[in-house]
């Protein structure tokens, strides 16, 4: 069988929900808003496909730079090279960073 090279390859564990979290997400997660300069965590919600970043950015923390349509522009540092990357991510895949962390 030919090997799959799709966008969600090797994400069986990373993009799966726990048993009690399955199904649609609460609407409050979709209507949350962020201000420029605010720090956010990128936690991909696998039940919503639109505005989903690449799975390599799952678990990273970035800074909101602005809005583009319904998505937010989030700037993250790219691991080893410390290069800055701009990602366009919908609010469903973001959560605010608490003050102490």
CATH at 68 = 2.30.30.70
From first to last of its 101 residues, what are the pLDDT tens digits of the chain?
888 888 888 889 999 999 999 998 899 999 999 999 999 999 999 999 999 999 999 999 999 999 999 999 999 998 777 899 999 999 999 999 987 65
Residue 1 lies in a domain: no
Radius of gyration over every alpha carbon of the chain, rounded to an integer in angstroms: 14
Q: How far is CA 20 from CA 42, 63, 65, in A?
A: 21, 30, 34
Total number of domains in the chain: 1
Residue 20 lies in a domain: no
56-94: b (≥16 Cβ within 10 Å) or e: ebbebebbbbeeeeebbbbebeeeeeeeeeebebbbbbb
Task: Note the pLDDT of residue 100.
Answer: 66
Residue 41 lies in a domain: yes
**Residues spanned by the domain of 52:** 34-96
Residue 50 lies in a domain: yes
């Amino acid at each position: 069988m030919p090997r799959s090279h799709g966008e969600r390859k090797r994400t069986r564990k990373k993009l799966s929900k726990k048993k009690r979290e399955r199904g649609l997400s609460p609407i409050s997660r979709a209507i949350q808003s962020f201000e420029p300069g605010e720090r956010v965590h990128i936690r991909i919600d696998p039940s919503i496909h639109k505005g989903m970043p690449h799975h390599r950015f799952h678990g990273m923390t970035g800074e909101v730079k602005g809005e583009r349509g319904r998505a937010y522009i989030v700037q993250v540092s790219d691991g080893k090279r410390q290069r800055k990357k701009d990602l366009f991510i919908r609010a469903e895949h973001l959560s605010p960073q608490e003050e102490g962390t």
